[in-house]
Structure 1
Amino acid sequence: MRRLFTRTGLVLLVGGVLVLSQTLFTVGEWEQALIIQLGEHRRTIREPGLHWKLPLAQQITKIERRILSSDADPAEYLTLDKKRMLVNHVTRWRITDPLRFFKTVRDEAGARARLDDLVFSELRREIASRDFAELIAAHREPAMEAVASRTAEKARQFGIDVVDVRVKRADLPTEVQASVFARMVAERERIAKRYRSEGAEESAKIRAETDKEKTIILARAYEESQRRRGEGDAQATRLYGSAFGQDPEFYGFVRSLEAYEKFLGEKSTVFLSPDSRLLRYLRESRRPE
C-alpha cells in the first residue's frame, strides 16, 4: 500500500510540474508576447515578469521589443541627371503593435522583406528627384530624412515604427567609375594648367615691376653721382681759382703736373717743341743751382 501511495505521489508531482511548465512562462524586458488560442488572439503581454496561460490550449508567441536593424543588399538607382548609383542602405526599426505585426508579416524575416520593398521604392523615388551632387555625403541628409518619413508612414500598417534609414555606402557602378575618374583627372589637370598660367603671368608682372624699380633706382643713383661729381668739380675749380689768385706760379706748377700725369703714361711718346710752355718746369728743374 505504501508503495502505491509513493508511486501515486510521484505521478502527481510529475504531472503538476508538467502542468506548471505549460501554464507559467516569463517575459523578458526586451520582449513582448501574444497569447494565441486555437488561432485566435486572446491577449497581449507587454510587462516583463512571470505570467500564466491555459496549458496545451494556448500558445505563446514572443516578439522582440528592442530596435532591430535591416542591412539591405546594394541596389542600382538612377539620379535626376541620369547618373547611376550603387546604394547600400540600413533601416533601423522596432515593433510597436505586436498583434498587427503578427497578423501582417508573422515574423522578423517577413518584416524585413516588407521594409526592404518599402525603402527600395522610396529611395528610388527620392534619388530620381535629385541630381548626383545633392546625394553625396555632405548633402545626403535631407533626402534620407524624406525617405525615412515616408517609409515610417507606410510601415505603420505592419505594426512597425521606422526609426531611421541610412545610406551605408554609395558608389558608382564599376563600368562608370573609369569614365568618371578620367573626367576628374582631366578637370584637375585643367585647373592645374590655369593655376600655372596665372602663376607665370604674375611672375612676369613681378619681374617687370622689379626691372622698372631697378631702372629708376639706377637712374637716380647715376643722377646723384653726376650731381656730386659736378659739385666736386666746381669745388675743385673754386679751389684752383683761389690758389691761382694767391700764388699763380704754384697753381701753374700743379696744373702742369696734372698734365704730365695725363699724357706721360707708360711707354708714351710725345713730340713737343723745346720752347713749349708745357716743358717749362722740366727745363727749370734741370738748371744747375
Structure 2
Amino acid sequence: MARAQIFLPALFVVGAVALSSVFIVDEREQVLVLQFGQVKQEIRQPGLGYKIPFIQDVVRYEDRILGLQTQPLEVTLKDNRRLVVDAFTRWRITNLIDFREAVGAGGTDAAQSRLDRIVSAAIREVLGSVPSNAVLSEDRTGLMNRIRDIAKREAASLGVEVIDLRLTRTDLPEQNLAATFARMIAERQREAADEVARGNEAASRVRAAADREVVEVTSDARRQAEVIRGEADATRNGIYAEAFGQDPEFFAFTRSLTAYERALGEGNSAIVMKPDSAFFDYLKDPKGGASRQP
C-alpha cells in the first residue's frame, strides 16, 4: 500500500514532465527551441517536437506571408513638388535564426517596425529621383519594383524576404490641396470662358450669315414681285386696250360705273361740280358720252 502511495505521485510527475517536453508545430508556423536565450533547434516542418522541460523554451513564428501597411510620409519629388505617400508590403520570414538575432524577443511586431523604416527610406530614395508626373501616372509599376528591390536588399539582414510592394496612396499634402483646387477651378473657368467666347463668335458669324441671306432672299423676292407686278400691269393694260378697241362705248360705261362707285361710296358724302359735267353723262342719259357726239 505504501509503495502504491509513492508510485502514483511519481508516475504523475513523470507524466507531467513527459508532456511538457512535447509540443506540436502547426503547418502555419515555424519554431525555434531556445535554451537560456540561445537557439538550440529550428523546426520548419509541422508535427511533434521535443524539448528539455523547464530548461528550453519554444518560440513560434508565422510561416505565412504577412502584410505591412506603412505609415504615410511626405516625400519631396525631383521637381520640388510634395506628395503624401504610403505603401502596402507583403513579406515573410525566411531565416529564423537571423530573424531572432535581428529582432530579439520583439518578434513580428519589432520586425514590422524595422521593415516600415526600411520601406519608407526606399520610397524616399526612389521617388526623390523622379518628377511628379512619373509618380502620378497610371503606369508606375517600374517605380514600385525599384522600391521593392531596395527594400528586399535591405531587409535580407532581418532574415525576411520582401515579396511585393504597392503604392496605395499618392496625394497632395493637406495644406496644398486648397491652393491646388483653387488653381484647378481657375483653369477650368478660363477654359469655360474661352469656350463661351468661341461659341459667341461662332453664333455671331451664323447670325450675320443668316441676316445676309435674309436680305438677299428678301431683295430677290421683291425684285421678282416687281417683275411679276409689272408683267401683270402690262397684261392688264393690254386687256384694257384690247377691250377699248373692240367697244369703246362699253369701256367708257364700265369706267364711269367704277368712278360712281368710288365717288359715292362710304366716306364721300359731298360732291361739288357743274351740273353739265361729263361725270353725270350716264346718270342723265343711258347712252352717256354718245349723246355728246355730233
State the TM bucket, normalised to the shorter chain.
0.7 to 0.9
Deviation sequence 1:235-265 (CA, Å, 0-9, x none):
3233223323432322333345556667777
Matched AA of 1:155 = A
Residue 102 in structure 1 maps to residue 128 in structure 2? no
Residue 25 in structure 1 maps to residue 23 in structure 2? yes
Matched AA of 1:164 = D
Q: Which moved more, 1:252-261 or 1:42-51?
A: 252-261
User: Structure 2 matches for 1:1-289, cutoff 5 A?
Assistant: 2-21=1-20, 23-37=21-35, 39-106=37-104, 107-136=107-136, 138-257=138-257, 266-267=267-268, 279=279, 282-287=280-285
SS in 2 for 1:76: strand
Q: Which moved more, 1:218-227 or 1:255-264?
A: 255-264
Q: Using the TM superposition, give the Cα deviation of residue 115 of structure 1 relative to its aligned residue in structure 2, in angstroms.
A: 1.4
Q: Distance in 2 between matches of 1:60 and 1:29?
A: 15
- Percent identity, aligned pairs only? 36
SS in 2 for 1:77: strand
SS in 2 for 1:138: coil
TM-score by length of 2: 0.81
Residues 160 and 288 (structure 1 numbering): CA distance in 2 closer, same or farther, change over 3 Å?
closer
TM-score by length of 1: 0.82
Q: Distance in 1 between matches of 2:109 and 2:22?
A: 28
Q: Distance in 2 between matches of 1:250 and 1:152?
A: 124
Q: Using the TM superposition, give the Cα deviation of residue 64 of structure 1 relative to its aligned residue in structure 2, in angstroms.
A: 0.7
Residues 146 and 4 (structure 1 numbering): CA distance in 2 closer, same or farther, change over 3 Å?
same
Matched AA of 2:76 = L
Alpha-carbon RMSD across the aligned residues, in angstroms, is 3.0
Q: Distance in 1 between matches of 2:111 and 2:177?
A: 35
Matched AA of 1:283 = D
Q: Using the TM superposition, give the Cα deviation of residue 274 of structure 1 relative to its aligned residue in structure 2, in angstroms.
A: 7.0
Q: Using the TM superposition, give the Cα deviation of residue 158 of structure 1 relative to its aligned residue in structure 2, in angstroms.
A: 2.3
Residues 132 and 244 (structure 1 numbering): CA distance in 2 closer, same or farther, change over 3 Å?
same
Residue ranges of structure 2 left out of the alignment (5+ in a row): 288-294
Q: Using the TM superposition, give the Cα deviation of residue 123 of structure 1 relative to its aligned residue in structure 2, in angstroms.
A: 0.8
